Chains A and B, each alone.
Chain A
Amino acid sequence: MSTRKRFATIWLGGCTGCHMSFLDMDEKLLELPALADIVYSPLMDVKTFPREVDICLVEGAVNTESDLRMLRSVRESSVSLVSFGDCAVAGNITAMRNTGGKKAALQSGFGSMGEALAVGDDNPLPQLLAQASPLHQYVAVDYFLPGCPPSAELIWYVINELLHDRQPVLDREKLRYG
């Protein structure tokens, strides 16, 4: 029986920037597989989110119905869920559409087609929720890692603490928004 941790990352309504910062961890990326099995990530070729994950970093706000389904299943399968980046923690850029409403957002993105995209039931596109929201609006979040994106050092600090069963603490020196 191996006691290796099972580690995952996923993105919802984000820009992938947080994952780019994750890749910026450089040589730490090589240390990670020594400490944990990476069982799911958009950077890997795995189709379905596995069960029994120890730590999952979730990038992006909850923006669409499919984001919400995904988030719920991640929550069910993961021991520690980390809100990864300002969009996940606070809505941030993704939630800027909330001030004008869903219709206006679709119109600005898709012009006159926006209306049709907003209502069609048989529509293949993920349906936008009325508002984009931080993860903790829907599920319990264990750790918050703000930043747009969080720095590679900070990401490593949090991952490394969690992999060693320590509590990451973001104090004045470590906290950054934006």
Chain B
Amino acid sequence: MSEIRTLTIDGEMISAPAGATVLDAAREHGIRIPTLCHLDGLSDTGACRLCLVEIEGNNRLQPACVTRVEEQMVVRSSSPRIEKYRRMILELLFAEGNHVCAVCVVNGHCDLQDLAYDVGMDHVRFDYLHPQREVDSSHDRFVLDHNRCILCARCVRVCDEIEGAQTLDIAGRGVASWIVSDLEERWGEARSCTSCGKCLLVCPTGSLFEKGLRHADSSRKADFLRYMVNVTRRQK
């Protein structure tokens, strides 16, 4: 029997199994916390910091997706301080890459855009970096456009944890980090890639897409993961 923890989120008393994350507990009770790198069915890495929450007694904001519930914990999922940081994080993501929505394959179906609309981001206050980044179209069917990549590592995790191919990984440090295939080969030369296309389905931005895709067909189907995970669990 699993142990139960009792905590408060946004003034509401809730209980959650020990080991659950604050994000799980909140969602279970219909409290929405925005996320970007988290995806149901994949492990959590706390990469994007969008799910920041306030926890009483702790001065630093904590990412809800990797913070475990504790007995008597008091959590706030929104406050002026949280909103301020969320918007700042989103602005930095836009400033760091080259997001030209007008010419992006997922314009209108993009998680990053959606979150920016949610926080009312009508402009970015930071200087755009305009980094020089590549578009890798060496794969037969898929394209990796580094200009739109926010390094959420969803593709890396789905490739490893669900497909088991471990083709994709992150190389480099800080702003110079980028997604690589196999040993920094062109994607088309990465022999471990099974061309399953799962990475395309989980990418929250327009970085990964299918060749010849029309903009109108670009809606994402990341929900497939939940389905797959459920089926596998049942088989076990």
Contacts and interface: CB of A to CB of B under 8 A. Distances in A.
A64 interface: no
A89 B122 contact: yes
B216 interface: no
A174 B117 CA distance: 9
A172 B123 contact: no
Say whether chain A's binding surface is mostly helix, strand, loop, or mixed: mixed
B121 A93 contact: no
B100 A172 contact: no
A167 interface: no
A100 B133 CA distance: 10
Most buried by B among A148, A170, A178: A178
B83 to A, nearest CB: 13
Contact of B100 (A89, A92, A131, A145): A92
Given A90-B128, A98-B130, A178 B101 contact: yes
Contact of B122 (A100, A137, A170): A170
B118 interface: yes
Interface string B70-94: 0000000000000000000000001
B128 A91 contact: yes
Contacts of A175: 116-117, 120-122
Contacts of B125: 136
Nearest to B131: A99
Interface in B94-131: 94, 98, 100-104, 107-108, 113, 116-118, 120-125, 127-128, 130-131
Contacts, number: 68
Most buried by B among A89, A93, A175: A175
A136 B125 CA distance: 8
Given A99-B98, A148-B101, A178-B107, A89 B123 contact: yes
Nearest to A91: B128
Contact of B123 (A90, A131, A176, A178): A90
Contacts of B103: 93, 178
22 contacts: A89-B122, A89-B123, A90-B124, A90-B128, A92-B102, A95-B128, A95-B130, A96-B98, A134-B123, A134-B124, A134-B128, A136-B125, A144-B122, A146-B123, A148-B102, A170-B122, A172-B117, A175-B121, A177-B102, A178-B103, A178-B104, A178-B113
Interface of B: 94, 98, 100-104, 107-108, 113, 116-118, 120-125, 127-128, 130-133
Given A90-B94, A172-B117, 9 more contacts: A89-B123, A99-B133, A134-B124, A144-B123, A146-B123, A170-B122, A171-B120, A176-B117, A178-B113
